[in-house]
Structure 1
Amino acid sequence: MNSLETFIILAALLAGPLILAPLEHNLEPYCFALGLIAVTVNRQWEWHLLRKAALDPLPLTITVIGAGMLFGVLRPMLDRRFAAMRRRLPRPLLAGLVVLIVGLLSSIITAVIAALMLVEGVALMGLGPAERTRAVVLGCFAIGLGSALTPIGGPLATLAASAMNLNFADLFKLLSPWVLPGIAAVSLLTAYYTRGPYDLVAVSANPSPHERTRQALTQGLRIFAFIVGLILIGEACAPLASHYMGKLSDGALFWANTISAALDNATLVAIEFHQIGRQRAQAALLSLLVSGGMLIPGNVPNIVCANKLSMRSGEWARIGLPLGLTMLGIYFALFLIVG
């Protein structure tokens, strides 16, 4: 694929969802279609690529479907337990614990299921509109960070592990010294911003078993299509992307990745993470993870929570942008110190 064709594919991938709302709302099938086009134009239909695209997304897809169905079954019991905790714990402590728990569990139950748990917890917590927005945005930062600790946590982790040939434990070893303190800090911020008494009656509707199954299957299939599309795009564009990305310094790549605030951060992983060193990958991943929380389109959990709670982009940005830029500045300074 020549430079012009690569540019057109990448421009469509990066700009399409920003310009056209229907593409933003159907990001998964859009990426899948672009992946098919990219590989076809590149005449790259080979057995090893088909096998990679078909098999690499399966662990995450199966986890999303299974965890979604299990969460639906356990939801009434979890709601009762949460209501009991609400009577015993002050609101700041409960809010901080919810964010800490979903952040840590997201690498096991997947970012999508963690986002659904966050929505449920916020609905049952008795928060006003301002506190609810802060809790959701902060919770999505925690989920975005935590979900990168294993390849089944989310699309970004799956794609990074695939591109760098990492096994299940390697991502945890690579990122946990940076991610775990970030999750703890975000949890403390959540407790601070939600201080005060419970002030609203919590109401939560429980969907029917048929609806739960449909939702879980739909989420799983959309995630599968999304990852397949990004794997195909990444393979088709890898030579040219590696050439240009290789010319950027580690610091320049760190800040260039803030574009993932307006895109799903897994998109850039598919483009960048070929023949990348450990230290460079560490900094690039942290930048993508934090930037992904700054705006709604930046990460799948953001989209899930914003849709479920009818949150507007401006509401999210007022909290996400300053928090994300502060976290990026801290991480960048630490990378410079550690060297």
Structure 2
Amino acid sequence: ENLEAFFLIMGMAAVSVSGLWSWELVKEALRAPVQIGGLPIGIFQVVLVFGLLMYYFNRPFCDAVLFVSDKLGPRLFIFLFIVILGMISSIVSVIVTAVLLAEVVAILPFSRSDKIKMTVVTCFAVGLGAALTPLGEPLSTILVHKLSGPPYNAGFLFPLRTFGIYVIPGVVAIAMFGAIYLGGKLSIKTHAHAPEHYETLRGTVMRAVEVYIFIAALILLGEGLKPLIIWYLEEIPSWGLYWINIISAVLDNATLTAVEIGPTLTKSQIISATMALLVAGGMLIPGNIPNIVSAGRLKISMNEWAKIGLPMGLVIITIYFIVMVFTHF
């Protein structure tokens, strides 16, 4: 509850202790949620606009999903559903995508057990795919902001160019796994119908406001903890950062990005740390925003999530580690 206010207080405290307050920092914190690379578009506007579209067009959207699911069949529908949500999350934001995911899973005529499995598997793909642009999720917004100066001069396409070779195949592989894991057991029927949209207009607008505060707070937190990066984190080898960041399973990965990522890290360290944050974030509910949104909507407990998320996450993070050994470590 009230995580945005908590991180705002923590960010202000960190900057105060470090003695790094400046008018320029305040302006950066205010601009970051609504501006990327000087362009007047940011994650705040994306969450607000697509959230309003979802609010007003929820019923026709859900009806269309049910129609398509019946025509495609379970296996193909699940594969395409996971791939599409995983990729569009980088454009419409991970938060809006999580709402779409929860709405769709809620109306599909699956057993509760299968709904939980589909939600967890899809959240891994969404958490990965959203990182491809600064519009996708707070992690990427913070990463691009913190690396916007020399030597990386990160811009809008920096996440795609840096992580795309790992993320895109990962999203497709997770979708294939989901189709095989779930598709053969399910039978989708058209007797289901779209329920009333559970969210209010005020809730839709407030979600965008909360994202704004969250991003601004993490800018302050990251700046306040910059001495920690310079003194300690840059000395840790890439493989060490990779495994340390498995703690993202219980701590939001955007927060860890604000603490860890900085221009003094090597590109290998940045890739290793970020990929671990993205994967480990799917293991437990607190690790990533789509997990929190989906679990709240579908009433999924931590224990129910962990039974699927922990083993799946450990397999994925081990596979990526093997890939990193041959490419970056």
Counterpart check, 1:198 vs 2:181: no
Q: Is the 8 A contact 2:133 2:157 kept in 1?
A: yes
Q: Is the 8 A contact 2:222 2:258 kept in 1?
A: yes
Counterpart check, 1:46 vs 2:22: yes
User: Offset of 1:277 from its aligned partner?
Assistant: 2.1
Task: Give unmatched runs, 5+ long, in structure 1.
Answer: 1-24
Q: Could you say which residue in structure 2 is the equivalent of 1:228? A: 216
Counterpart check, 1:148 vs 2:124: no
The CA deviation string for residues 95-127 of structure 1, in whole angstroms up to 9 with x for no partner, is 221111110000000000111111122123221
Partner AA of 2:274 in structure 1 = L
User: C-alpha separation between the residues in 1 aligned to 2:256 and 2:120?
Assistant: 22
Q: Could you say which residue in structure 2 is the equivalent of 1:169? A: 157
Select which of 70, 81, 86 maps to 1:98.
Answer: 81
Q: Could you say which residue in structure 2 is the equivalent of 1:19? A: none
Counterpart check, 1:271 vs 2:254: no
Partner AA of 1:112 in structure 2 = I
Q: Could you say which residue in structure 1 is the equivalent of 2:3? A: 27
| Secondary structure at the counterpart of residue 242 of structure 1 | helix
Count of matched residue pairs: 313
Counterpart check, 1:251 vs 2:239: yes
Q: Could you say which residue in structure 2 is the equivalent of 1:7? A: none
User: C-alpha separation between the residues in 2 aligned to 1:205 and 1:301?
Assistant: 21
* Greater shift in the superposed pair: 199-208 or 132-141: 199-208
Counterpart check, 1:314 vs 2:303: yes
User: C-alpha separation between the residues in 2 aligned to 1:201 and 1:235?
Assistant: 53
By percentage of residues, which structure has more helix?
Answer: 1
User: Offset of 1:338 from its aligned partner?
Assistant: 2.1
User: C-alpha separation between the residues in 1 aligned to 2:25 and 2:231?
Assistant: 21
User: Offset of 1:177 from its aligned partner?
Assistant: 0.5
Q: Is the 8 A contact 1:91 1:125 kept in 2?
A: no
User: C-alpha separation between the residues in 2 aligned to 1:65 and 1:130?
Assistant: 32
Q: TM-score, normalised by structure 2?
A: 0.91
Q: Could you say which residue in structure 2 is the equivalent of 1:329? A: 318
Q: Could you say which residue in structure 2 is the equivalent of 1:71? A: 54
Q: TM-score, normalised by structure 1?
A: 0.88
User: C-alpha separation between the residues in 2 aligned to 1:318 and 1:28?
Assistant: 29
Q: Could you say which residue in structure 2 is the equivalent of 1:22? A: none
User: C-alpha separation between the residues in 2 aligned to 1:284 and 1:241?
Assistant: 13
Question: What's the C-alpha RMSD, in Å, of the aligned pairs?
Answer: 1.6
The CA deviation string for residues 57-101 of structure 1, in whole angstroms up to 9 with x for no partner, is 121111111110012222222122112112212112212211111
Q: Is the 8 A contact 1:66 1:216 kept in 2?
A: no
Q: Could you say which residue in structure 2 is the equivalent of 1:111? A: 94
Q: Is the 8 A contact 2:102 2:294 kept in 1?
A: yes
Distance 1:33 1:69, change over 3 A: same
User: C-alpha separation between the residues in 1 aligned to 2:201 and 2:306?
Assistant: 33
Select which of 171, 185, 191 maps to 2:173.
Answer: 185
The within-5 A match list for 1:198-217 is 198=188, 202-207=192-197, 212-217=200-205
Partner AA of 1:277 in structure 2 = T
The CA deviation string for residues 27-70 of structure 1, in whole angstroms up to 9 with x for no partner, is 22211111122223333321110111010112111111111001
| Secondary structure at the counterpart of residue 83 of structure 1 | helix
Q: Is the 8 A contact 2:59 2:195 kept in 1?
A: no
Select which of 262, 266, 283 maps to 2:272.
Answer: 283
Divergent runs of 4+, >4 A: none
Distance 1:200 1:296, change over 3 A: farther
* Greater shift in the superposed pair: 195-204 or 126-135: 195-204
Task: Give unmatched runs, 5+ long, in structure 2.
Answer: 35-41, 149-153
User: C-alpha separation between the residues in 2 aligned to 1:129 and 1:256?
Assistant: 34
Q: Is the 8 A contact 2:91 2:136 kept in 1?
A: yes
User: C-alpha separation between the residues in 2 aligned to 1:242 and 1:40?
Assistant: 18
